[in-house]
Amino acid sequence: MKPRSIQVCLSPALLPLYAKENTIAVVIDIFRATSSMCYGLANGAQAIIPVAEIEECLAYAGQPACLLAAERNGEVVQGFDFGNSPFSYGAENVAGKTVVLTTTNGTRAIRECEGTKLIAIGSFLNITALSDWLKTQSSHVLLVCAGWKDHVCMEDTLFAGAVVSRIKTADSMLDDAARIADGLYQEAHLDIAGYLRNAGHATRMERLNLSRDIEFCLRQDLVSVVPIMRDGQLVCL
């Protein structure tokens, strides 16, 4: 049997270059979308529906037990219940609810992974649960970094490397991007927060007074859920 490949897509703009057959796509948007998705589902959200555009989100207005969340350029879009800060996804807000979410990068990356065998969601909050599950799978793995408006993001790449380091075996076929990401993680793993202090998206968030969000999104193993896409909704595995 051919060994499985572990690849890293550094930007959604590169997704058309990757095969989707027999592949699990793991979407990564550390600051903040995928972190909030993991946290929200762990806190009892019934489902999270990722949509690419604000208009798609508004189409769900008025539906029972449905919250509308929208973020653009790091800020909550006016008129929506909240954006993608993990602090909005506590049980007091989302338990028993369906959250329809659109973000600048993360939700678009999820939609662009359609056609793969399965879409899963990764964050530092669920890194061990995610990695342990991926180890049990025989499908190829494509770690998809949401980035920032199609540009490479350090935090997403570093997380991809953290997963590569956990799931690779002697037989795994790693592409160059996976090796680069793994190398970045090995360089940074002793002080991830310090390493990412000058990352582009971290500095953008600092300017928006979102340092608490950054700190929260770098916490490891806060939850044990593995969100997957099923019938257009993110639910717990």
Q: Domain span at residue 163?
A: 5-236
Which pLDDT value is given to residue 83? 92
- Look at residue 31 and give its three-state secondary structure: coil
pTM of the model as a whole? 0.96
Q: What is the pLDDT of residues 68-106, one digit of tens each?
A: 999 999 899 999 999 999 999 999 999 999 999 999 999
Which pLDDT value is given to residue 153? 96
How far, CA to CA in Å, does 127 sit from each of 49, 54, 155? 21, 29, 14
DSSP per-residue codes, 75-108: EEPTTSSB-S-GGG-SHHHHTT-EEEEE-SSHHH
Q: Count of domains in the chain? A: 1
The ranges of the chain with pLDDT < 70 are: 1
Which pLDDT value is given to residue 1? 55
Q: Which residue has the tokens 């359609």?
A: 114
**Are the C-beta atoms of residues 139 and 120 closer than 8 Å to each other?**
no
Which pLDDT value is given to residue 207? 86
Radius of gyration of the chain (CA): 16
Which pLDDT value is given to residue 41? 98
Give dist(CA 107, CA 146) in Å, integer: 9
Which pLDDT value is given to residue 104? 93
Q: What is the CATH number of the domain that holds 34?
A: 3.90.1560.10
